[in-house]
Structure 1
Amino acid sequence: MNRRLAEGPLCLRCYRHELDVQVTCIRCGRRSWADSRTPQGPLCGSCSPRRLVRCARCRNVRPVFRVDLPDSPICKHCYGALCRSVHPCPSCEQPTVVIFPDPRAPGRRVCARCAGRRSPFACRRCGSEEHHYGRHCAACVLAERATMLLTAPDGEVHPRLRPALDALLATERPKSTIYWMQISKAAVLLGDMAAGRVAISHECLDALPRTGWVDFLRDFLVVVGVLPERQLHLARLAPWLDGLLADRPAEQARIVRTYATWQVLRRLHASSATAPVSYARAHRARSCISRAAALLAWLEQRGQDLPTLRQADLDQWLCEVPGGRNYIAPFLTWARSRRLTGDVTVHRPPESEPTAGMDHDDRWALVNELLHTQYAAIELRVAGLFVLLFAQPLSRISTLTVGDVHLGDRRVEVRFSTDMIVLPDPLADLVRDLVGRRGHSSYPDQQRTWLFPGGAPGRPLTDLALGRRLRDLGMPRIRSARNSALMHLAAQLPSPILASLSRRSCSHSTRIGYLFDPGKVTSRYSPDRQQAGTGGRSNWPSGACCWRGGASREWCTAQIERTRTERCCWPAGGLHQPPYGRTAPDPAQPCTSWRNEPPTPSRPRAPARISAASSALVRETPRRQAIRAASREPRGMMGVC
């Protein structure tokens, strides 16, 4: 339908925007095209009453939106659902909206092209029916707006921001990116970088107030390669230290800065070469520095200084400042080594025995719920099962990478510390589905590095966010659940394996296992396993046998847990237990099998692997049977599947 003006014909859409045909709406007061006229005056399109009909799809009485589609009339909500329901067409197998009847096959629905009709869902530019966004698709709209945003004053895309443009266009959710460009201040700052008004550097972002959108933009530019990788938590410590010491006296600031620079930050910089500095480590560093500054300020209020600090003064400060015992001890050790203070010591309270805060029945019920429920997110189910079954802390779970998971043909293995753990089948299926899933970010890491990707580009889900979501899921006592799982594992695993799994000391793991079975002494379990991959020192020579009789090391290792009596001498003077059927050598005579005799050849052995149902590694004793029966605890972890 056309309208004619003096300049030529116009379509109805353009004719409605002419000023001489617009009127003032009597209800809202805006000037627009008169959609309807009443005896009181004209009404615009927003204020005009809509004709209410019953929608053919949802059967609700709503204003009609489209009448030219099959199963018309339909409302606006159903039309939006149709635009999002893109499926492969049965005839052409292209992703389209399949709602039109097929003239060649009655009863079958195909796309508009196969039905011989013009598609109302196709983009006017590329013809795609995916990501419907008005008259165009969201991908075409995003390409136009992102190119305009990152265009330099010379009319071309900024060369340094070309990777950012490619990442914006390659997103899987273009509508979310369009919405982000409309409301986020990060998009405005990105446009200023392209226009040359702001430098593209970390220093420019550091000068801005620390907000969520600044951190998001920094992570995005680092992931796409515009900015170099940087230890963010480590880099934030220096500005934080300057702000902490800004209003301190000169002498206090000098001592605290020296301690922070040459003790705390130096160790963090040295360890950052092998592993990134996590939020927890940076938080502990800030706590140690702030506690040192608080102690010096407290001494100044009392008219004292660090050289006059006595043990009674330190004990009084520890009583007044709760939680400062673990953070002030490194500072006092450093001060004593520099002769800045006297012989003062932070006395630690005796370590209490571990207790299971969660009942075993409640823990296994929660395990079954996480294994078989469908309403919870898969990353929460896997993280909760890692806590309940393997006693892993959330700080370690959140930093697991895809490289820590091995997907085999018949089993799935995960590495929490140094050994690969075989997962039971229901949990293995969940981990298979979790590997490769994208996170909540619209611009995920293309390498799929993290097993639990977070909302920030290229960063994992933090342990704080993971704990909060698990508590909302119905797991309020995470520490209690972990302690209960640790007690269960201590009843089944040898102490060195438990120490490696939980990253605790072997003595602590032995003490936990002693609570369940005082007769189980497993602290000397398999010294060859330490040499194979635990990182600990071993006196076992490479390729040598342990026994003078010529038995191989593999055979000796397999028999260690079956012996309870007799001793034999091993290379560095340690004590070992001989297997059954062998005679222990005379301890007075040195063991020379590995020195004077040729080493016994042994087969190459794969790294030690621990099964989730690892109760077979430890011989069942009547005492352990009584403990398990009293706690009504199922044998192994496979009993819950």
Structure 2
Amino acid sequence: MTPRIDRCLSCGKDKPCLFAGTAKARCHHCSKKKEACSVCRRNGLVGTRTKAGEPICKICARTREPCSDCGKSRYVAGRAEGAPLCDYCYRSNPASFRNCRACDTKTRLLRGLCTPCTAAEYLSELFTAQLLRDSLEVQSLHAALLAADPARVVTAFQRTGSVELLRTLLNQEETRTHAFLDAAGPDQATRAVRSILVEHSLLPARDNNLARFKHWIVTAAQDIKDPAERQAFNQFARWRHLRELRQRPQPLSTNLVSSRRRELRIVIELLTWSAKRGRSLALLTQADIDEWLATGHGERHRVKAFLAWAQKNNNCQKLHIPRRQRTGLLVTGLDSRTRLKILEGLLEGNASAHPATAFAAAMTLLYGARPHQLTALQVTDILTRADDTYVRLGADPLLLPSRVGELARKVLLDRSAPRLFGTVSDAQWLFPGSRPGQPLTAAALIKRLRAAGVQPATARTGALGELAQDVPPVVLARLTGISVANAIRWSEAVSASNARYGSLGQLTSSSRS
């Protein structure tokens, strides 16, 4: 029987449950019997029992001894000729190998089967004969999983929640909707299942960032107690943000949607602050706004658009938000020697960083490319002419150094994207993400860069500061993709920094003389 979604009686979460639709509905995790361990007294799964029948948990049931292979004191998973072996060493030791009951291959087994046979059995349980007969899309998914790496398939089946959710969606066609997945759990829990269904046309493609932002507006508005203010918030969010986002090229970047969400949170912050002071939006005065701006964080000026809209629609009186003073650019990033040293390490043949990560790091260290700018690169933005390689960050293609160009060509050849049961090759994005048809998020790329030893902010500052000294602002803008106004700001900031440094040098020389 295929488990259906219900609210678990024990944990209270909506998950695939046994006895769904009854008062005994329980998810798979909560259905496993747990007892108080007679050794550690913790409530858990029973590993064994004493002679008297008292329960011993799985942890206490295992003994720790020095492993005969690695020498570390660990729990004993098995023995080879009487010598103890830990989990890690026992897996690869021939003493743990048995003959597969399906193909008779002697290897490490799972449920009495070798890895390929285990994967085949898992898939035969997931895809019933009737299910395969009824849907061409399901047949496509089944064929793709049969062709995938058996080890990856077996590993994916260890993610019980995702597999049971997939089983439910495959067998109950009425649940195969984005709305059902939205209600089934947070994005992190449903993303892998959603992606594989979209990939094989079992779900229509959608811009997940836009859909979740639309849902978030409705949820966030519930924090506004006054009905009139809640209505004004909803109207503003839909008129200004949803309308604008729908007109942008999709898919929308996570950073873009997060910025809009942040602005709306600040609007809610203002309405909550005024409500605590006994003021409604209609009664807010300039003195209230001035006090609110002066007593909070530096982003409060972002309510300007909301107040202008509210005043235009007769929801409040005319209120003034002063223009925020722009701070000067900091040009004290990583110096060229440090950046080149990091780059050399990444370009070495034995470097552990993936070519895509190394290429992104090189673009940050050399040209100050921004993470969201890099993730927006498509395959067509890498141009190859004879032995030369170009990348299009701005209006004009940028010629890459030969070794960085080699990295770019490697990235073109390997654009694998992670999925639940393995990887697929993306034909559009240079940095493909975990969702079909969407690139890697800027946050994920930043995490990879930091793991490779590159801090994007300081690396970018150092690179742009150095380029601004040597390249005219208009040329800098056309090659790196920043605006002409920003290129001019960088040039002015570098000139001012050099002038201060020169003045300090002259002062030091005169004091010495």
User: In 1, distance between residues paired with 2:478 and 2:284?
Assistant: 41
CA contact (8 A) 1:139 1:174 kept: yes
Deviations 1:246-266 (A, max 9, x none): 242201101101101111111
Deviations 1:417-461 (A, max 9, x none): 332211101111122222232244444344433322345565433
Please give the residue correspondences for 1:366-381 in structure 2 after superposition, counting only pairs within 5 Å.
366-372=342-348, 374-381=351-358
Matched, 1:474 2:453: yes
Matched, 1:302 2:317: no
Deviations 1:6-35 (A, max 9, x none): xxxxxxxxxxxxxxxxxxxx9988xxxxxx
Distance 1:368 1:159, change over 3 A: closer
Deviations 1:594-613 (A, max 9, x none): xxxxxxxxxxxxxxxxxxxx
Deviations 1:389-418 (A, max 9, x none): 111111121232222212343022212233
CA contact (8 A) 1:455 1:461 kept: yes
Aligned letter for 1:165?
H
Find the counterpart in structure 1 of residue 290 from structure 2: 315
Aligned letter for 1:188?
E
Local SS of the residue matching 1:444: strand
Matched, 1:453 2:432: yes
Find the counterpart in structure 2 of residue 388 from structure 1: 365
User: In 1, distance between residues paired with 2:95 and 2:412?
Assistant: 32
Find the counterpart in structure 2 of residue 264 from structure 1: 241
Aligned letter for 2:431?
F
CA contact (8 A) 2:331 2:462 kept: yes
Distance 1:366 1:154, change over 3 A: closer
TM-score when normalising by structure 1: 0.58
Find the counterpart in structure 2 of residue 23 from structure 1: none
User: In 2, distance between residues paired with 1:170 and 1:233?
Assistant: 31
Aligned letter for 1:278?
S
Q: Aligned to 2:305, which of 312, 316, 330?
A: 330
CA contact (8 A) 1:490 1:516 kept: yes
State the shift of 1:128 in Å: 10
Q: Aligned to 1:513, which of 472, 487, 491?
A: 491
CA contact (8 A) 1:164 1:226 kept: no
CA contact (8 A) 1:161 1:226 kept: yes
Distance 1:432 1:281, change over 3 A: same
Q: Aligned to 1:209, which of 175, 179, 185?
A: 185
Aligned letter for 2:393?
F
Matched, 1:361 2:340: no
Find the counterpart in structure 2 of residue 164 from structure 1: 141
Identity score, percent: 25
Find the counterpart in structure 2 of residue 221 from structure 1: 197
State the shift of 1:366 in Å: 1.9
Find the counterpart in structure 1 of residue 265 from structure 2: 290
Aligned letter for 1:232?
N
Q: Aligned to 1:489, which of 441, 461, 467?
A: 467
User: In 1, distance between residues paired with 2:99 and 2:405?
Assistant: 41
User: In 2, distance between residues paired with 1:325 and 1:27?
Assistant: 62
CA contact (8 A) 1:149 1:191 kept: yes
State the shift of 1:134 in Å: 8.9
Distance 1:255 1:354, change over 3 A: same
Considering Cα pairs closer than 8 Å and 6+ residues apart, tell me whether 1 or 2 has the greater RCO.
Answer: 2
Aligned letter for 2:201?
G
Distance 1:177 1:276, change over 3 A: same
Find the counterpart in structure 2 of residue 405 from structure 1: 382
Please give the residue correspondences for 1:463-612 in structure 2 after superposition, counting only pairs within 5 Å.
463-475=442-454, 477-514=455-492
Aligned letter for 1:351?
T
User: In 1, distance between residues paired with 2:160 and 2:433?
Assistant: 19
Please give the residue correspondences for 1:396-435 in structure 2 after superposition, counting only pairs within 5 Å.
396-435=373-412
Find the counterpart in structure 2 of residue 444 from structure 1: 423
Aligned letter for 1:393?
R
CA contact (8 A) 2:331 2:493 kept: no
Local SS of the residue matching 1:388: helix
Local SS of the residue matching 1:236: helix
Distance 1:455 1:230, change over 3 A: closer
Find the counterpart in structure 1 of residue 85 from structure 2: none
Aligned letter for 1:435?
L
State the shift of 1:206 in Å: 1.8
Distance 1:306 1:196, change over 3 A: closer
Distance 1:457 1:170, change over 3 A: farther
Find the counterpart in structure 2 of residue 3 from structure 1: none
Aligned letter for 1:421?
L
User: In 1, distance between residues paired with 2:129 and 2:215?
Assistant: 32
Structure of greater Rg: 1
State the shift of 1:123 in Å: 10
CA contact (8 A) 1:292 1:331 kept: yes
Which ranges of structure 1 fall in alignment gaps of 5 or more residues? 1-25, 30-45, 54-61, 66-73, 84-119, 519-622, 631-641
CA contact (8 A) 1:231 1:277 kept: yes
Distance 1:433 1:310, change over 3 A: same
| Structure richer in helix, relative to its length | 2
TM-score when normalising by structure 2: 0.71
Which ranges of structure 2 fall in alignment gaps of 5 or more residues? 1-47, 52-61, 70-78, 83-88, 506-513
Find the counterpart in structure 2 of residue 244 from structure 1: 220
User: In 1, distance between residues paired with 2:250 and 2:108?
Assistant: 41
User: In 2, distance between residues paired with 1:194 and 1:185?
Assistant: 14
Distance 1:328 1:348, change over 3 A: same
Distance 1:315 1:436, change over 3 A: farther
CA contact (8 A) 2:376 2:429 kept: yes
Aligned letter for 1:63?
A
Aligned letter for 2:80?
P
Distance 1:447 1:470, change over 3 A: closer
CA contact (8 A) 1:405 1:414 kept: yes
Find the counterpart in structure 2 of residue 348 from structure 1: 324
User: In 2, distance between residues paired with 1:177 and 1:214?
Assistant: 18
Local SS of the residue matching 1:406: strand
CA contact (8 A) 2:367 2:467 kept: yes
